[in-house]
Amino acid sequence: MQTAQALDVAAATTSSDGSALGAVTDWAVNLMETIGAPGAGLAIALENLFPPLPSEVILPLAGFTASRGNFSLFEAILWTTLGSVVGAYALYALGAWLGRDRMRRLVSRVPLIDIEDVDKVESWFDRHGYRAVFFGRMIPLFRSLVSIPAGIERMPLGMFLLLTTSGSLIWNSVFVLAGFYLGENWQVVEQYANTFQRLVIVAVVLFAVWFVVSKVRTYRIRKRES
């Protein structure tokens, strides 16, 4: 009963305006109300597969629920971290299924991308792959995407799971603990996380623009020289 009341409070704080955030909150509330802490884990596993689902909302909500309900703070962190690992492993398996040769064939059909670019990415991942998997778990968008090249490059599965678990445990603990101690003000976390996510998106967009411009310039130079 106490858990249901806590979840109702959480849902009421975000769903009154009918926003997408409110819809996500209602969905996460229903999961946690139905199956408890494993519901938070399931929500985070799906967030890994569908990055538009914001972990920055689900994790503090799980922490808030732990502060008021029938599952403990330990269970909230345990299940959300397990969910992160399961979601990441699914994408790792997708990358492993895709494989290096198939990936290169697909990339060769993409305009403006050369096999040389793929070679550079592979070389970079060979040098920094372990750090990328660990720290990538703490960066919006990259949390999901980094698992795919790890699978393509067949990073040792044990190491992948260790790095993913460690990085996810840090990220999840910060947000779950924030929700736990902020209580009904758990949404404050989402505001700061949104700022961080916007900075990441801006950086990605700027890099994409730079990449396209440089590729078009290189293509024109090669055309003039041929």
Instruction: Give residue 86's pLDDT.
Output: 94
% of the chain with per-residue pLDDT over 70: 61
Q: Under DSSP, is residue 209 helix (H, G, I), strand (E, B) or coil?
A: helix
Q: Which range in 20-24, 56-60, 192-196, 207-211 is most confidently predicted, on average pLDDT?
A: 56-60
* Helix extents (H) in 36-72: 37-49, 55-68
- pLDDT tens-digit map of 136-157: 888 777 777 888 888 888 899 9
Which of 17-26, 108-117, 200-209: highest mean pLDDT?
108-117
What would the two tokens of residue 70 be?
Answer: 């029938």
Kindly report, residue by residue over 184-204, the tens digit of the pLDDT: 666 666 665 565 556 655 665
The pTM for the full model equals 0.73
Exposure on the CB side of residue 81, measured as CA atoms within 13 A? 22
Per-residue pLDDT, 127: 83
Q: Residues 97-116: what's their mean pLDDT?
A: 72
What are the tokens at 160?
Answer: 């992948």
Q: In 52-114, which residue ranges form alpha helices assigned H by DSSP?
A: 55-68, 73-98, 100-107
Q: Are 104 and 98 contacting, i.e. CB atoms less than 8 angstroms apart?
A: no
How far apart are alpha carbons 99 and 186 in whole angstroms? 41
Summarised one tens digit per residue, pLDDT across range 37-83 is 898 899 889 888 876 667 777 888 888 888 877 688 999 999 999 99
54 phi-psi bin (left φ>0, alpha ψ -120 to 50, beta other): beta
- Give the pLDDT score at 18: 46
User: Alpha helices, DSSP H only, in 137-186?
Assistant: 142-145, 147-152, 157-182
| C-beta of residue 68 within 8 angstroms of C-beta of residue 6 | yes
Query: What six digits make up the tokens of 117?
Result: 């670019």
* Confidence at 3, pLDDT banded by 50, 70, 90: very low
Report the C-alpha gap between 220 and 7 in whole angstroms: 58
**Over 70: is that where the pLDDT of 171 sits?**
yes
Is residue 84 over pLDDT 80? yes
